[in-house]
Structure 1
């Protein structure tokens, strides 16, 4: 049995352990002609035992392909984690590995994706999926697909959820329960999803004949800390809303935390609806009423679209929108009775 080495093994280590030349190892690893099958099996057994991996950068210099797909996310939070699961599933039938790269600490800086791409494209990745990017158009040496894109006319292929329809269903559900003072904690104002969710909120109120009160709209930016501030402002009012629709589940969870601190009971005193249906939504007590978007499907569809672009195919549609569904759980009920 070959002993594992304390440092990263090289191709010369493999050759020495297998008793063959470096050239033979190279041919065996890269499936090139000229090596007997038995020798290939022997070399590959040594490769596995030593844990040898050829350099991605060296391979890319030779073949101009790395076999790696990059996924750039602003941060590793529940939404992006579900997206990554979907991308991984979408790549399962393709010969690509996944590299997740976070702009953590720089995500509020516009254009961080461009800087990240300049480091990665051309050497480490063959294609990239951008999740909630801060800019509309990005050029790179590799194909790009955006999930939940920036607002504006995007030249990039995109995949997103039906944010307008989901928000309209959520707020319509609250009006059907009898709520007329419904607050809204918006997301990032630079993203199409946030703009569409506010439009759905306004549309559902109009459908119910309720005038929009702009003082009941706060900005959470899809972040819990910011959402807590907005929720505190809304719930500290003497004429506080009886229900709040949040642009994402993290914001909805923050609203519930603030309500508890202020002595309000959900849903007796306040109904709350989120958007996403992250795994934590069903684990709350009471479980969160929310709009389910197919987060893993977003990732899988984006991966499929990227594979088509990399194969120089021309997809029938380059801007895809997936349906959403309202999931009614325990954080919603009729408005509190006025004594």
Structure 2
């Protein structure tokens, strides 16, 4: 069996001092960004785990459950509220940790777990994690996961069913040219929403039109570019289904800039039901996923694992529901 990589191995391979490796791995100041990137690349290649993990073999617990998120955006914020509510009367404290400072770099989840496991947290809830390659000496539950390890407990919403329901509603209103702003292709939920969109077209006998599908990656600026291209087509869509609410809100903004009225000229549906969805005008029709419930179930799941309980169901899928508001209406004009 090969020996575990040490901090000295990392320092030698990266051509830096041991203290520089320690600073880079633990996110301390005083190391240039390009040096940090080089060190973290070596860490990933060698499979090095910091002393925080090495010291986690102690017998006592911290009483803390960590929640790792890529960023504190509306979805993860709502999930965090659900985790907090579920743990409020428990003996566990909550530690929220964001990987946004690392720019979403590959392997940030693993490095974060290495820093936190054992010395700071007893277990982790990972929101939209890159599951592939993630290992830990503490229990992990993933919320809205990427495809990856089948043995990792997961909690997610019925993205396929929610997307199909949204499409059925638009078809019932009379829409035939329905655009789609897709999300991140590396997320299982995003793939499911794409599949639900296409299934809705097939069910209604509407031919799929590649020109009506754009990939926004859940990034507002990219969504705006894609929405602009979509809505400036000679035969523009009469409705747009966006894979999340923030993308849908960006579509509404672009429509307004082009002089299109929502919903008179363009119907828009989102997915999530973040708080902002009901505050805009017109209020956004959306597929509501139980974000706080996702967090609560994940917290209950991880608490059970810490208690040594076995769960019959390793993967939990929660239902979604369509919330009809003011951003949708029948298409206007003849032949539309």
In the superposition, the TM-score normalised over structure 1's length comes to 0.80
TM-superposed CA distance for 1:155, in Å, is: 2.3
Deviations 1:91-110 (A, max 9, x none): 12321111111111435322
State the distance in 2 between where 1:114 and 1:212 align.
39
2:66 is aligned, of 31, 45, 70, to 70
1:101 aligns with 2:76: no
In the alignment, which residue of structure 2 is the partner of 1:296?
Answer: 292
What is residue 168 of structure 1 aligned with on the other side? 164
Distance in 1 between residues matched to 2:187 and 2:58, nearest whole Å: 39
Quote the residue 1:118 is aligned against. Answer: 114
How far residue 164 of structure 1 moved from its aligned partner, in angstroms, is 0.3
What is the distance in 2 between the residues matched to 1:262 and 1:168? 28
Matched with 2:246 is 250
Q: CA deviation at 1:240?
A: 1.1
1:61, distance to aligned residue in structure 2 (A): 8.9
TM-score (norm 2): 0.81
8 Å Cα contact 1:110-1:135 kept in structure 2 = no
- CA apart distance, 1:266: 0.3
Give distance in 1, aligned partners of 2:227 and 2:287: 19
Matched, 1:333 2:294: no
Q: Pick the aligned partner of 2:196 from 195, 200, 213.
A: 200
Tell whether the 8 Å contact from 1:70 to 1:125 is kept in structure 2 after alignment.
yes
Runs of 4+ aligned structure 1 residues displaced above 4 Å come to 60-63
| Structure 1 position 135, deviation (Å) | 3.2
Q: Report the CA distance shift for 1:173/1:107 in structure 2 as closer, same or farther (over 3 A).
A: farther
Give the conservation status (yes or no) of the 8 Å contact 1:185–1:217: yes
Show the counterpart of 1:219. Answer: 215
Matched, 1:127 2:123: yes
User: C-alpha distance in 1, partners of 2:86/2:181?
Assistant: 32
When residues 217 and 178 of structure 1 are mapped into structure 2, their CA distance, relative to the original with a 3 A threshold, is same
CA distance in 2, matches of 1:233, 1:169: 26
3-state SS of 2:100 partner: coil
1:139 match: 135
User: For the residues of structure 1 that align with 2:264 and 2:134, how far apart are their CA atoms?
Assistant: 47
Shift of 1:230: 1.3
- The alpha-carbon deviation at position 336 of structure 1 amounts to 2.0
Q: Deviations over 1:239-289 (max 9, x none)?
A: 111100000000000000111111111001100000000111111111000
Unpaired runs of 5+ residues, structure 1, are 1-56
Structure 2 counterparts to residues 276-295 of structure 1, below 5 A: 276-295=272-291
Tell me how far 1:127 sits from its aligned partner: 0.4
Unmatched tracts of structure 2, length 5 or more: 1-52
Which residue matches 2:309? 313
SS at 1:291 equivalent:
strand
